[in-house]
Amino acid sequence: MNTQDVYILAIESSCDDTSAAVLLNDQVLSNVVASQKIHEEYGGVVPELASRAHQQNIVPVVHQALSKANIDKKQLSAIAFTRGPGLMGSLLVGTSFAKSLSLALDIPLIEVNHMQAHILAHFIKEKDTPKPEFPFLALTISGGHTQIVKVSNYFEMEILGETLDDAVGEAFDKSAKILGLPYPGGPLVDKLAREGNPKAFPFPKPKVQDLNFSFSGLKTAVLYFVQKQTKFQSNFIEENLADICASIQYTIINILMDKLKKASNITGIKHIAIGGGVSANSGIRKALKDGEKKYRWKTYVPKFEYTTDNAAMIGIVGYYKYLDKDFTDQGVAAKARFSL
C-alpha cells in the first residue's frame, strides 16, 4: 500500500436509497445501494417509512460495501456522510451511524453536501470517462433537485438558478401518475415518449425570471387537459398515451434547454455536466448531444450508477475534503435544508 493512499467509507441516506461505498483515492472499490421498494405502493416517498428502512438497511449495506471492496474497517482513513439537504429522519440515520463509527475507529469524520456530491460525481475516476474542465456548468436534475450551478473549482460553486417549486423528476412522476402509470413514472414516460409525437399536444411553458425553473404548473396543465379530453372520449389516455408522454417530455426538455442556453450565454461557459436520476432520460441526453453541434458545447454525463443517489459520489467529495484536511467534529447535526 502506498502511504499516500486514502481509503474513504462513504454513507448516503438523504432520501429513499441507503448506500455505502468504499473509495481508494478517486477510485470506487464498491458502491452498494439498497433502494426502498416500499414507497412504490404509495406513489411517492413516505418519510417515516424511509427512515425506518434506512435503520434496517444501514448495517448490512456498510458490511457489504467493505466486503466487496475487500478491506477491513481498520484500514479506513476517514468516514464521509451526507449531512444534507434531504429528509430529516433519513439524514439522521446516516449521520448518527457515521459519527458513531468514526468515534469507534478513531478516524476523521467528513460532512458532505448532497448537491455538491451530485456535481463532483463527475470526478470519480473511470476508464473512458473524461472529467470536466473548470469552469463548467452543472445541471442537476432528479426527483428532489433542479439546479444550474457554476462550478469554478472543487469547492467553489455558485447556484445560478433552481426550481421555485417541483423538481424535474416530480414533473415526470406526477404527470405519469395522472396518466395512471406506476411510481416512479419518469422512466416509463421516457420509454413511451419514444413511440409518440412530441408536438401532438402543446403544453404551456412557465414564465419564470432569470435562470430559475417552475414545474408545478405542468402537472396541473396535464391534469386539466386529461380531464377535459376524457369527458369527450373515456379511453383518451389509452388511445393517446405515447403522444401525451412525448408531449410532456418535449415540454420539459424545452424548459431545461432554454435555461441552459441562457446560462451558457450569460457566463460564456460551454462545458456542461449533467447529473441526477433524470439525466438518464434519453430525450434530454439527445438534446444535450445536439447542443454540442449547435452551440459548440462539450457535455459530460457520468456513469448511470453515479448519477442517481449513491454513496460513491459522497466518497469522492470525502476524498477531496480529506486532502484539504477539512474534517467535522462530533457536534455536527444533520441539516434538512443545506445550501451549496
Residues in contact with ligand KG4 by the rule CB under 6 A: 15, 142-144, 169, 172-173, 184, 186-187, 190, 276-278, 280-281, 308-309
Which is nearer to ligand KG4, 142 or 264 (by Cβ)?
142
Full strand arrangement of the beta sheet holding 271-275: 156-162, 146-153, 136-141, 271-275, 298-300
280 binds, among ligand KG4, Zn ion, none (CB under 5 to 8 A by kind): ligand KG4
- Rounded to a whole number of angstroms, the minimum distance from the CB of residue 276 to ligand KG4 is 5
DSSP-assigned beta bridge partners for residue 137:
150, 272
Q: How far is the CB of 280 from Zn ion (least distance, A)?
A: 13
3-state secondary structure at position 172:
helix
- Is residue 173 at the binding interface for Zn ion, with CB under 5 A as the rule? no
C-alpha cell at 321: 475534503
Query: Which is nearer to ligand KG4, 107 or 189 (by Cβ)?
Result: 189
Whose Cβ is closer to ligand KG4: residue 30's or residue 140's?
140
And the C-alpha cell for 24? 481508494
Q: How far is the CB of 311 from Zn ion (least distance, A)?
A: 12
Binder of residue 169, out of Zn ion, ligand KG4, none (CB less than 5 to 8 A by kind): ligand KG4
Q: Is there a contact between 14 and 145 (Cβ–Cβ < 8 Å)?
A: no
What is the sign of the dihedral through the CA atoms of 187, 191, 194 and 199?
negative
DSSP state, residue 213: B
By the rule CB under 5 A, 309 interacts with Zn ion: yes
Task: Tell me the angle at which helices 47-69 and 88-105 cross, rounded to the nearest 10 degrees.
Answer: 30
Contact 241, 235 (CB under 8 A): no
Query: Residue 263 corresponds to which cell in the numbers above?
Result: 446560462
Max Cα distance, the chain (Å): 72
- Of 94 and 143, nearer to ligand KG4 (C-beta) is 143
Task: Give 256-307 as a DSSP string.
Answer: HHHHHHHHHHHH---EEEEESGGGG-HHHHHHHHHHHHHH--EEE---GGGT
For the bound state, the minimum distance from the C-beta of residue 126 to ligand KG4, rounded and expressed in Å, comes to 18
- Partner from Zn ion, ligand KG4, none binding residue 184, C-beta < 5-8 Å depending on class: ligand KG4
217 binds, among ligand KG4, Zn ion, none (CB under 5 to 8 A by kind): none
* Residue 291: contacted member of Zn ion, ligand KG4, none (CB under 5 to 8 Å, by partner type): none
Distance of closest approach, residue 308 Cβ to ligand KG4, in angstroms: 3
Residue 102 or 310: the one with the smaller Cβ distance to ligand KG4 is: 310
Residue 306 contact, options Zn ion, ligand KG4, none, Cβ 5-8 Å cut-off depending on partner type: none
Partner whose footprint covers residue 32, from Zn ion, ligand KG4, none (CB < 5 to 8 Å by kind): none
> Which C-beta is closer to ligand KG4: that of 60 or that of 182?
182
* Rounded distance between C-alpha atoms, residue 107 and residue 337, angstroms: 27
Q: Which is nearer to ligand KG4, 248 or 272 (CB)?
A: 248
The phi and psi torsions of 90 (rounded to 5 degrees) equal: -75, -45
Q: How far is the CB of 50 from ligand KG4 (least distance, A)?
A: 12
Measured from the CB atom, the residue of 188 and 263 that comes closer to ligand KG4 is: 188
3-state secondary structure 2-38: CCCCCEEEEEECCCCEEEEEEEECCEEEEEEEEECHH
Closest approach, Cβ 40 to ligand KG4, in A, equals 12
Kindly report the number of other CB atoms within 10 A of residue 104's CB atom.
Answer: 9
Binder of residue 277, out of Zn ion, ligand KG4, none (CB less than 5 to 8 A by kind): ligand KG4
Binding region for Zn ion (CB under 5 A): 142, 309
